[in-house]
Amino acid sequence: MNYRVAIVMGSGSDRPVMEKAGAMLDEFGIEHETRILSAHKTPDEAIAFAENAASNGFGVIIAGAGKAAHLGGVMAAKSLLPVIGVPINASLDGMDSLLATVQMPTGIPVATVAIDGATNAALLAVAILAIGDEELTAKLAQYRKDLAEKTLAG
């Protein structure tokens, strides 16, 4: 499989957190594209991106946003691809964006990771893309093995 991952964020101020997702995807050799798309300031562009993401070769969308974090929900509402939300700590210790991302209505799920958890979002994207891909599954298994060894080494 040769899927790409879309990394979208609500504003440029989200970039330091969301770059961690790109860095982790790079470790697995997964191609990704990063865009700034606001659910509120550029809704037409965000909707068009979500509607065309699958046909543009994306397999997963990672959406990071802070405050009124509706970007993940917009992506999920307009795409059938798995969407992983990254709540960004932009105010209220990130609790506002966590709740806005995780509390999606029935039928339009957004998988949600921890506040500022872009690395885990990328790892979840890898796990999703690894379904049916033995090579990527092996890379993920090796990553987990290495992680366990580092943990045990203290």
> For 88-133, what is each residue's pLDDT tens digit?
999 999 999 999 999 999 999 999 999 999 999 999 999 999 998 9
Q: What residue ranges do the domains of the chain occupy?
A: 4-153
Q: Sign of torsion, CA 21 27 32 34?
A: positive
CATH topology of domain 4-153: Rossmann fold (3.40.50)
Q: Tokens at residue 54, please? A: 């699958």
Q: Tokens at residue 116, please? A: 């500022």
Measure the CA–CA gap between 154 and 152, rounded to whole angstroms.
Answer: 5
Q: Which residue has the tokens 């059938």?
A: 80
Measure the CA–CA gap between 100 and 83, rounded to whole angstroms.
Answer: 14
Residue 1, pLDDT above cutoff 70:
no
Measure the CA–CA gap between 20 and 122, rounded to whole angstroms.
Answer: 8
Over the stretch 6-57, which tens digit does the pLDDT of each residue have? 999 999 999 999 999 999 999 999 999 999 999 999 999 999 999 999 999 9
Prediction pTM value: 0.96
For residue 82, the tally of other CB atoms under 10 A from its CB is 18
